[in-house]
Amino acid sequence: MAWKPRDIPDQTGRTFVITGANGGIGKHTTEALAGKGATVIMACRDTAKAQRVADGITGDVRVRALNLADLASVRAFADATGDIDVLINNAGLMNIPFSRTADGFETQWGVNHLGHFALTGLLLDRIGDRVVTLASIAHRQTPKLWIDDLNYEHRRYHRNLAYAQAKLSNLMFARELQHRLADARSPKRSYAVHPGVAATDLFARTETPLDWVAKPVVAVFGHSPRHAAESSLFAATTAGADPDTYWGPTWLFGSRGPVRPASSSKLSRDRDLQRRLWEQSERLTGVEYKF
């Protein structure tokens, strides 16, 4: 029988941090966890919007400022955060025009990957249970990881490839983190999940005519943000879930369906490339993990 959110055990006494929790998948993840008794910290750039969302959710839900496009904000959030049980790296940007973060990183890679890499490393000693990182079926859309030019300093920018590179980085980071936790004999776990395809606001921020039509079209072959949140909820709350498995929908090329072991690209499983990405991420963010 397929796993459903009703299978989530009581979460009373557990604390979750969810990035980008003020809409879409993050909002539904917050609602489900708070409904099971968890304390949820919504880590969001737009705190006013997040507070409006939080006000509509029953349970212990708290809003905190976090801008993943600014490492100073990431450090400030981490400095002000105490012990938590689970970090869900949910926030993301998709297919936006070229820009750079406050620290000079290409924005899609800087927010989706580097911001989460830094946040996880800075919080790791206070995370009691696990880290869940959202990747995407879009990780397959890039033929390689330009490990020597991750910031688009020497090549032409293609927004779809930049997004694919960022999501590939999310997947490779989650796997490398699990390898390193296991090597350190840590009881903590790292999970990579993908949500399938859902009609969220990600499809309305490209600053192209697609913003007007993408969400209705996606809703036809994808599934709802509520269903898309099931991958995160499964990995964040299931005691026996295998951290070496990539969890997500598998129907219609991974666009929808119940949470199951999902396939990933050969590139995403390249251990040497995972290690090199990790080293580059530590160098660029200045965050060195301690296990």
CA separation, residue 42 to residues 91, 189, 229 (Å): 11, 21, 15
* Average pLDDT value for residue range 103-129: 98
* Catalytic residue positions, numbered: 163
d(CA 254, CA 258): 10
242 conformational bin, left if phi > 0, alpha if psi -120 to 50, beta if neither = beta
Alpha carbons 239 and 253: distance in angstroms, whole number: 27
- Rounded mean pLDDT of the chain? 93
pLDDT digits (tens, 9 = 90+) for 159-178: 999 999 999 999 999 999 99
User: Other C-beta atoms within 10 Å of 288: how many?
Assistant: 8
Distance, in Å, from the CA atom of 8 to the CA atom of 274, rounded to the nearest integer, reads 32
At 28, which amino acid appears? Answer: H
- Which pLDDT tens digit goes with each residue over 179-237? 999 999 999 999 999 999 986 555 445 555 555 445 565 555 667 889 999 999 999 99
Does position 43 have pLDDT exceeding 90, yes or no?
yes
Report the pLDDT averaged over residues 135-151.
Answer: 95
Q: Which of 41, 66, 67 is nearest to 54 (CA)?
A: 41
DSSP class of residue 142 equals -
| Rounded distance between C-alpha atoms, residue 123 and residue 120, angstroms | 5
Contact 270, 277 (CB under 8 A): no
H or E element that contains 3:
none
Q: In 3-state terms, what secondary structure has residue 36?
A: coil
Tell which residue, 32, 83, 80, 40, has the closest CA to residue 60. 40
Sign (positive or negative) of CA dihedral 189, 12, 27, 84:
negative
Cα(first)–Cα(last) distance of the chain, in Å?
Answer: 37
Tens of pLDDT, residue by residue over 7-38, are: 999 999 999 999 999 999 999 999 999 999 99
